[in-house]
Structure 1
Amino acid sequence: GFARRALGPWGGFLTGTAILIEYVLAPAAIVIFIGDYVESLGLFGLESGWPVYLACFAIFLGIHLWGVGEALRFSFVVTGIAVVALIVFALAALPDFSFGSLDDIPVDTSASGSNSWLPFGLLGIWAAFPFGMWFFLGVEGVPLAAEETREPARTLPKAIRWSMAILVVLAVVTFFAAAGARGSNAIQEAGNPLVEALQPDGEATTLSRIVNYAGLAGLVASFFSLIYAGSRQLFALSRAGYLPRFLSLTSRRKAPYLGLLVPGTVGFLLAAVSGDGARMLNIAVFGATISYALMSLSHIVLRRREPELPRPYRTPGGVLTSSVALVLACAALVATFLVDVTAAFIALVVYAVAVAYFGLYSRKRLVAKAPEEEFAALAAAEAELARD
């Protein structure tokens, strides 16, 4: 709706679809990582694979279908467990922390500007963007709860500020604790890096098992919240006519059941067929970076075009902040091609198909009563009155 106001129907569709790609692919990546943790714990004798993925999607989609209140309460509890786990992990890793372990990756001497702190040179910083973003991917999903929130203009800005602050602190602590305890080189390929950081000899300890279970809770929390956000994004796009209308149907418990089941099925199939969490991650980041760029651009356009528009929440730093975000988002988008060309082109093809669908079909079938279109109609009427 925000991008629709600033950039028109095309801007709304391009932004919404980019976010949808992120929220369909991110759960597929996370469920693969959940499988790695389940396998390392030896739970039920399962190995990472499609039975684990199917169980995760079936159980957690079922909770979402039960109702939004139950789903968000569950998410809050699991997230609390995950935060406690990260604090316990950081305290446990502290005795083994060494600054020398942070830069123990072998240096690629052929890379420009390479040294022990930049083993892959200056280009390595750029290529690391998608992985650094993974710490924060999905935090923009907070506003997708707007229609199910009391006083969203007051509560959502507060929620996203707290979310960002907590994420920054936990990301820095987790990153340095894991790399400093075991060594960057040792954990760079690990599917469960927190556990690996606490098992220098490869033998499981009571503490590493506790962190493993709690780390699993953290992945479940991310998985669960991304499913919620993706279903609401699909619901909004469908309700406005950007995607087929039937996808916005809701159950008696007001859950968008097709908005949950369709992306859930796609996510499960992608995870089961590929089993490549890193690739899914990169495709999700591709969608995220496009949406970040378009949202930043929308902010700049609205500040310039409609300076008097009522704004319950104002971005700290204003246009300067969103301009920096726009540049960084574009740089991160290019970085996805540096890291995994195949993943970037897969995302690009999916995006192109969606654009073709909108241009040739749904663009002419937008729903006039959808909130996004009503806001646009009001804006056009106000502009007409101003001219008169």
Structure 2
Amino acid sequence: MPIWKKNLVVCWFGMFATGIGMIQIAPVLPLYISHLGVGQEAAVAQLSGIAFGSTFIMSAIFSPIWGSVADTFGRKPMLLRASLGMAIVIGCMGFAPNVTVLIGLRLLQGVITGYSTACTTLIATQTDQEHAGWALGTLSTANIAGALLGPLIGGFLSEHFGLQNVFFMTGALMMVSFFTTFFFVKESFQRTDKKVRHAKEIWHQIPEKSLTVTLFVTAFILTIALYSVEPIVTVFMGHLTNSSHLALLSGLAFSASGLANIIAAPRLGKLSDRVGAHKVMVIALVTAGLLFIPQAFVTAPWQLIMLRFLFGLTAGGLMPSVNIMIRKITPTALTGRVFGFSMSAMYLGVFGGSVFGGQIAAWLSIRAVFFCTAALLLMNGLWVYCRVYRQIACAAQSSTTHRLRSDENE
């Protein structure tokens, strides 16, 4: 088996565990904060929002920094640092004596993140051009699946093993990731840039600045779309059914897109290798946007779950396409840093999606969340078509014309 395939297996498990570690606390957090002595319902909700969102804000800030360090010292050291650090910090949350310490540990968890950035960079730089789409598509399923299935896993563990044991078991999972990374990930790293440059200097070295910004925005909007329903799905499901299994149905609706993503991303990544990532990206954005519209009109839980699953199938083609494009247009020496900024956009999207969905539901209506998210995806699809698809198509046509003229002259 090629080294990049072995590394892909280990990185997939590590990113899946990291995704769980980042978001499995969502359904547990209000209960744990109450367990730590906060009695008022309003205070519990406020502190839960701060504790949950703070991790993603810090992750967005520090992802480019760790990406820069990975480009300088190697990706494997960053994988070991992040997995060990998260194992210790998440485990310590189970011993938190009060909410202040818990929030502090959540902030620290965001600071020491960087596993996903280093994994993506490692696989992107090691994999040959022919298999890059499939490899990055497979890898992207780990982070998204871990994040989307995390709340379901966290709720299950807390119900059957207790609140504190959720943190201990997740920390143990991250420790397993540390040891598998230590023993099985192989990297032949050659340092090409001895000085870690500032963001401004890095930006000047990126050849396709406009295209890079478009890809960052696409990653941000995709993540908003994935998480915009998180704050409203349980309430919306309550409008659709009087079932006593409301929590289970809500978990299925939210996690259906994660399951579909696991199925579709490797296949759509492979398709990107054949027909071009820009084509898959435009079609996936438009289809995903259109699939959000009927979600606003559902009348039964199974309809919402089915449409969320179909959305996940289309969304599975977006992150692999974004990563393939970033890999193609970024110099090797800057890959980790640019992927770090891409991960920052995704972390901000997780936080922004939750806020976006909640605010739209509060000011307009729950069903309006689906219309607004659809509009975002469709506008992004139009932007990508104008700024990416047409640019690449024109460049390919120009290259073909030039080659034909050269052949005629010969």
Q: Work out whether the TM-score is over 0.5.
A: no
Q: TM-score, normalised by structure 2?
A: 0.33
Q: TM-score, normalised by structure 1?
A: 0.35
**Which structure ranks higher in relative contact order (CA pairs < 8 Å, sequence separation ≥ 6)?**
1
